[in-house]
Amino acid sequence: MDAMMIVRRLEYLVALAREKHFARAALACHVSQPTLSAGIQQLEIDLGVQIVKRGHRFEGFTEAGELVLSWALRTTSDAETLRQQLKERQESHAATLRIGVLGSAIPLMKIFTVPFQRRYPSMNLAVTIHDAYGIEQCIEERSLDVAITYLDKTSRNYRRAQPLYVEEYELLIKRGTRFSGKASACWEDIREQPLCLLSPNTRIFGAEESGILNQALTKTPHIITNAIWLVMDHVRTGNWASVLPRPVRVMIAGDRELEAIRLEPTGAQPTVGIVLPRSEPVSQAAEAFFEIAASIESLNIVETLLQAEVEPVGSAPRRRAK
């Protein structure tokens, strides 16, 4: 007997056991009822036993049929596992996973991409930065497989969504300068000193924060750039401060010169999460990336990194003032 034909007939048997009705079982298997009945009869011939009790309706399985059904359940389960593994292998060698990310979340990406790469070592990743509207548009155009974006009223358009963190912003300063060692600062404070900023209109800032920063720039000397390293280098001089999303502290952890001071929220703080679009067919690689990002392990790492103090290398841990 052809192996795949055997598996198909066993699937008919499993469906019949589940549905307890020939017509419904055939519908579940996407075949006609005569095809399903003929397949089970051929299985009986091949195995030399009666599997289904004879009658006008389904009346159950014979004693031998119960043994065959037990084997069918194991075999079809193994066959499905094999199909999934082969599909994942094909995806990992032939496809590119398209990931859309808010600019503010970029420093956290390696938390997810490293374990994903271990699972899919040959798969390509295309990571692009967008604002929330851009991500929504790309999802509608089906040009993204998975995304990290704000979770709001549009979340109902996603098949799955998992919160990752609450968005906050921080004042980046040189250690020993004004505000150093403080638990927090307010947005009004940024108007009192020179600033070196990524453009307030860039995708790492929300609309409200962009407005505050643009207003602040009318009142204080400043440098505007599109290079994060230029920002950090100028803050290290002590002559400028900067404002950056909280995940940037991942990039400066252990820095001997830089310090991040929490800025008090301006209002409701949006939640950033990972989402899977409602699309068909479902990408197994996208599902895997989502599961990795949404795992307890990843969420704990994100929380630890975002809550930890930014301490210089070799220093004793410092408690945040309350």
Element (H, E) at 135: helix 132-140
Question: Is the model's pTM score more than 0.85?
Answer: no
pLDDT of amino acid 76: 86
State residue 311's pLDDT score.
46
Residues in a beta bridge with 149: 273
CATH number of 95-166+270-307: 3.40.190.10
Question: Do 173 and 235 form a contact (C-beta atoms < 8 A)?
Answer: yes
Cα(233)–Cα(299) distance, rounded to whole angstroms? 31
Helix, strand, or coil (residue 278): coil
**Where are the domains positioned within the chain?**
3-92, 95-166+270-307, 169-263
**pLDDT over 60 at 131, yes or no:** yes
Does 112 or 121 have the greater pLDDT score? 112
Say whether 169-263 and 95-166+270-307 share the same fold: yes
Q: What is the DSSP letter of 317?
A: P
Tens of pLDDT, residue by residue over 242-265, are: 998 888 778 777 778 888 888 988
List pLDDT tens digits, range 39-48.
Answer: 999 888 988 9
Given a cut of 80, whether residue 166 has pLDDT beyond it is: yes
Give pLDDT, residue 310.
46
User: What tens digit of pLDDT does each residue of 16-66 get?
Assistant: 999 999 899 999 988 888 898 899 998 889 889 999 987 778 888 899 989
Q: Which CATH architecture has domain 3-92?
A: Orthogonal Bundle (1.10)
264-302 pLDDT tens trace:
887 777 889 999 988 777 788 899 999 999 999 999 999
Cα separation, 238 vs 234, whole angstroms: 7
Question: pLDDT tens-digit profile of 66-115?
Answer: 999 899 898 888 888 877 766 666 555 457 899 999 888 988 999 999 99
pLDDT of residue 155: 60
What's the token pair of residue 221? 């000397």
Please compute, for residue 182, the number of CA atoms within 13 A of its CA located in the half-sphere on the CB side: 17
Residue carrying the six token digits 């390696």? 110
Tell me: pLDDT of 316 over 50: no
pLDDT at residue 141 in the model: 83
- 25-33 — which CB contacts under 8 Å span 24+ positions? none
pLDDT the model gives residue 293: 96
Give the tens place of pLDDT for each residue, 188-214. Answer: 888 878 999 988 887 778 778 888 899
> Is pLDDT at 322 greater than 50 in this prediction?
no
Q: How do strand 146-150 and strand 258-263 relate by DSSP bridges?
A: unpaired
pLDDT of residue 158: 85
CATH architecture of 169-263: 3-Layer(aba) Sandwich (3.40)
